[in-house]
Amino acid sequence: MSETRFWLIRHAIVDENARAMLYGVMDVPLCETSLLEQAPMYCALAARLPRPAAWKVTPLSRTRRTAEAIFAAGYPRRELEVEEALIEQSLGEWQGLPHAELPARLTLPKHAFWPLSGDERPPGGETLAEVIKRVGDGLGQLAARHPDEDVVIVSHGGAIRAAVAHCLRIGPDNALHLTVQNLSLTQVERTEDGWRVICVNELPGY
């Protein structure tokens, strides 16, 4: 039976100044201190991930930098192909806002576990429902290009929630109940019978 195995990793923690605002698809840097402190997690990922595998990153540098750190920790270096469909949710005009300024701009009640509801559309941005569609289509195209292969994707929290939501056929507000921590591993598979979820938010080394 043909199957494509996806290994989804959320990028490393971003710089403290970036964490103070809504950054969405802004190209913010990683936290240099955390890169050093979390070296054991990169080593654990390097040992855990399949070999060989195709490697994908998003257009944002934080995903490429995370992949490079995994290679430096012992995973044999691979070519990194950019997949725009797996980028983070765009927050449009709200990107760059301090978190405290967001509530006054919402048109829908906030989610219990996220600043925005799944159907909230930032001006010039995306709803999470649209991200689920975008990511699902992207994963389907990757599965067609990589039958019977392992595919490692360094992506973002919102996109990984969207991937799980696509596989489970759940709505955006339900997807926001999923925790996806930095450097966590989420596995999904595309088989001839459909999508299935293997694990969500597995932390390397724990």
**2-47 confidence digits (pLDDT tens):** 899 999 999 999 999 999 999 999 999 999 999 999 999 999 999 9
Find the DSSP H helices in the chain. Answer: 16-19, 32-37, 39-48, 61-72, 128-145, 157-168, 172-175
What residues does each domain of the chain span? 3-93+103-202
Per DSSP, the residues of 22-63 read: --TTS-PPB-HHHHHHTHHHHHHHHHHS-SS-EEEE-SSHHH
**Residue 69 corresponds to which tokens in the numbers above?**
């750190």
C-beta of residue 30 within 8 angstroms of C-beta of residue 66: yes
Angle at 203 between CA 146 and CA 173, to 5 degrees: 75
This prediction's pTM: 0.96
Model pLDDT, residue 206: 65
C-beta of residue 25 within 8 angstroms of C-beta of residue 94: no
C-beta of residue 99 within 8 angstroms of C-beta of residue 20: yes
Model pLDDT, residue 22: 95
Strands 54-57 and 150-155: parallel
Residue 147 burial (10 A CB sphere; 0-12, 13-18, 19+): exposed
**Residue 193 corresponds to which tokens in the numbers above?**
């019978």
- The class (CATH top level) of 3-93+103-202 is alpha beta
Confidence label for 149 from pLDDT (cuts 50, 70 and 90) = very high
Average pLDDT for the chain: 96
Distance in angstroms (rounded) separating the CA atoms of residues 10 and 160: 7
Widest distance between CA atoms in the chain: 51
Whether 73 shows a pLDDT value over 80: the answer reads: yes
Model pLDDT, residue 205: 77
